[in-house]
Structure 1
């Protein structure tokens, strides 16, 4: 028995197949353990994180939508606020007589018109839409010339605060001067919007040491003057138009393009259906970094062949502004000797919406005829500005020449054209009228036949349109 207990167990090496099977078993156990205790928990965690990511993305989308809506609301609010401020600025915040008198003093008092006094009626209310708007009637007796009265009416039209001209009566005295009465009406936003802070109180007693803001004309008496002049003549006076408006460009064609003065002046021009005159206006986009002495964006007009033969009273155009800007808007002419002539129309855009702006062109006859080459927008040096304006109806205004009988003897209804090589009646008609349909009219005016050849240098008569 002792021999048996001391007997050692004999071992043997694993066979190759056994080793292979054992390695497979170990591999299976490792893979199962990894999957069970590592991969499966990680997979569950990834699924949970992915679901959480989706929820967060949905929340982010909701927040972005809210932010976009908020930005749109803020932009719309800014636009409405500017429109509101623009409207408010055109009306009197309160019917304050001192403020109204101060404004009318600048508008009504002219060298050729004498204002006697001003009569203010009691304020009353007028139903406009759903609001009751406070207003006041003002009666102003006057004496002066017809041109003076016209100047007063123009001044009232351009008043920074809206003043309505309700009616004008005219009579003529023995000296040939007019006298009568102007009835005005002003409106107030008092009670409709908060404008108390906008009220400017004027100490009228300190205005040039005047007791009243107006000085009556000499020997004025408040009485009715009998007039022998027939009523028909007085009515005729009202119908006289002392000015001729000639449209230079209505922006209905696309013969314009943008030119920069330097590489940091960017811009574009295209037609817009938001117009003041006809179907189209010109949309002028600009983005200018003003680092040079000249920082202008030009609208080239040379293809429109705009020639001004003699000095007009004024040249103007309509400009629509979306916002305020330090930009200068002007015109670039070319004189007959080739010199460039720049004329600014407005230095700074201080309005929104449509506004007619005008300037006085050069009066030196030696410069004429002038060729209008471009319209420009300029930003002062070391400034940066970008924006959009609309431009419409560029026109020249000429003063009529009336003879002693009141007949208009201004420049006639015809213009001239010097024939160039290759010109034909069809081409000339197309150049001036935009169509070849006026070929026969050109031939008839110049006593030509359709078979005639136009010699270079011949001067043709053309009808204005």
Structure 2
């Protein structure tokens, strides 16, 4: 029975047109649903995510564009803050160097009516100030002298170019009316906190490069020839004066970029044309802007040109050829900037003296030397190293009818500023307050006279 059932043929009915249509429609629907579910929906989600990322990136682009629009003001603000920082740092001791501290204190403590026997330096210690471990040193200064002299020393300590804290003062009167006592000074150092010029004060050490022979002729000796005519001097006076503006012997220069893709640095080099050091300037400039300059800020040197020199020149050592323009940036008395190119393109190697004629318009003088600069033309990226030395101004020597040199005067001027005193002016120009009576006499003043702001004082050159 069972075998009969299996052997019975199974008959399949042919589908009608309507059934075929419905099956086809079902397949199309399943295909569309699958495409929408597995292709369109994920792609739509990805598109939505990409649009969100696009909006975020667009926001960042807007922020960057806003920052770029403020680039010049940001650079100016950074420049101002950098100068303020350097001004603050320059008032404190970079390191506790006893030799330089003694050199500075000797000038500040110099008083005819006060005798300083010695200076006792304690071991350096550390003090926690504002979260920093600040290195400091106590100095004990025994003294003997008059009351007025002691007060003058205290005033000179207050006017010191580097901050010196007067911790305590003890006084005892002798039988002869003079004072004996001790001053306790404290000096704070920025060593380990910030990078500064290591020199507390510049100590000029004379270097005798060559010995004069005792058999050399006296330079003013004149020989009478047989015909009675007087021969010229053996050593003639140069018809011009070379005034050195910068010799780069001190680390008092800083690198500043004109835009963020201008990189560089400055340091001292022993490969010098004049004296011991030159300035090593490294630069790497991607020149995508209209202005692509690497600046060397030398404003802290306070160099002023009071009237136009004949020329301004600079020694430059080049290791390779370059399309760079080397120049000087001055700031006139109205605060306007003046760019003076020295060389447009570097077409030499080794040392070369380059010079140019500065602005001749007397109305813009005095000019302050603000920066040196190296500029690369747009779309011409460049990098390299230059050495710079002995920036100088050349003036014509003024010889009168009798052959006397009238170019160099014996006096200079000082315009009184807020906080100035005769003692502080004496220390500023001569390193000691012992010339205050000379300043009073030159300007027909008395010790009791006040110094009005803006008064022009006459000072003797030394």
- Which bracket does the TM-score occupy, shorter chain normalised? 0.3 to 0.5
TM-score by length of 1: 0.46
TM-score by length of 2: 0.47
Bigger Rg, structure 1 or 2 = 1
